[in-house]
Amino acid sequence: MNAQEWLAREPDGELQIGVLGAPISKASISPSEAWSTPTAFREALRRFPTWNAALGVDLAELRIADLGDIPGDRDEPDATAAHERIREAVLDAYAKAPIVVVIGGDNSLTRPAVRGAEAASRLEWGVITLDAHHDCRPLDDGPRNGTPIRQLIEGGMPGDRVAQVGIHAWGNSRENGQWAADQGVHVHAMERVAQSGAGRVVEEALHDVRDAGATAVWADLDIDVLDRAFAPACPASMPGGMTPQQLMDAAARLGRDPAVLGADLCEVDANADVAGMTVRAMAGVFLSFCAGVALRHRDAA
Ligand SMILES: [Mn+2]
């Protein structure tokens, strides 16, 4: 069984993870065909086995289901209606599975996805982003892929319940970085990841949001945190970003933490990929998150 067959099968018993596709790209600031990615992502899983030798985990032990794609925004003037569908689909998915993973699509999906998660529970949600960018741009042009964190904070999420890992030195305007700092957002620069390792920095981010009162965490894995050499299909990836190994380590660490109940993987435009490398990296990051979830269940046993 390869990982594509694993995600496509119908598991017996109660689900542990539900997966949704969110093929949207109308809210992208740079031109993007990120609507093409959920299908390409499922196809790329074929390249992976279910066995992770380093972690000693076989994903076959996890009960996961592909809940299909939410209708995207391709035939609509903007992403407004698709965002509402994403919120509702995530809310509904939590009736089926305790952990929901959304495969984008552009990063604007994160706000409605977190809103759906909040509506599904009485937990106090925080957000950990793996991203080169703060995504705290002002809302001058409405909700975009560069605004989800600002929208969440302006919508009531305490700023100190957000931690950002992999922020790029050249990735943000001074104003947007200052806005994030003023809200109390915990910022862990890419340089820290290079020095201390991604798993260690993610640990710190988990402490950050927990200390601020979060009892549930949404992990926003923006694939543009990868170095552009590994993520040519992300419109805003930069030289000097993470290696796929660092991002897979981070994803596994997030998956292992019992507080992490939701995740998205976003910003890949499969139609702009080179040799399938970005989509394949995204698939590896997703599978590493799932391997972390398998370890979480083992830790609890
Ligand atoms: Mn982002």
Please give the distance, rounded to the nearest whole angstrom, from the Cα atom of residue 301 to the centre of ligand 1.
Answer: 35
Average pLDDT taken over every residue of the chain: 97
Nearest-angstrom CA–CA distance, 179 and 193: 22
Taking residues 272-278, report their average pLDDT: 98
Give me ligand 1 centre to Cα 66, in Å.
24
CA of 211 to the centre of ligand 1 (A): 24
Cα of 145 to ligand 1 centre, how many Å? 6
Q: How far is the CA of 237 from the centre of ligand 1 (A)?
A: 10
Distance 229 CA to ligand 1 centre (A): 18
The Cα-based distances of 126 to 4, 153, 158, 185, 262 in angstroms read 30, 10, 8, 11, 10
**What percentage of the chain exceeds 70 in pLDDT?**
100
| pLDDT in the model for residue 191 | 98
Q: Is there a contact between 149 and 129 (Cβ–Cβ < 8 Å)?
A: yes
Residues whose CB is less than 8 angstroms from the CB of residue 118 and which lie 6 or more positions away in sequence, other chains included = 125
For residue 66, the model assigns a pLDDT of: 98
pLDDT classification of 200: cutoffs 50, 70, 90: very high
Rounded Cα gap, residues 125 and 114, in angstroms: 8
pTM above 0.95, yes or no: yes
Position 11 pLDDT exceeds 90: no
Q: According to the model, what pLDDT value does residue 33 have?
A: 97
Distance 164 CA to ligand 1 centre (A): 10
pLDDT of residue 123: 97
What CA–CA distance (Å, rounded) separates 128 from 254? 9
Centre of ligand 1 to C-alpha 34, Å, is: 13
- Give mean pLDDT, residues 203-220: 98
What is the predicted pLDDT for the residue at 128?
A: 98
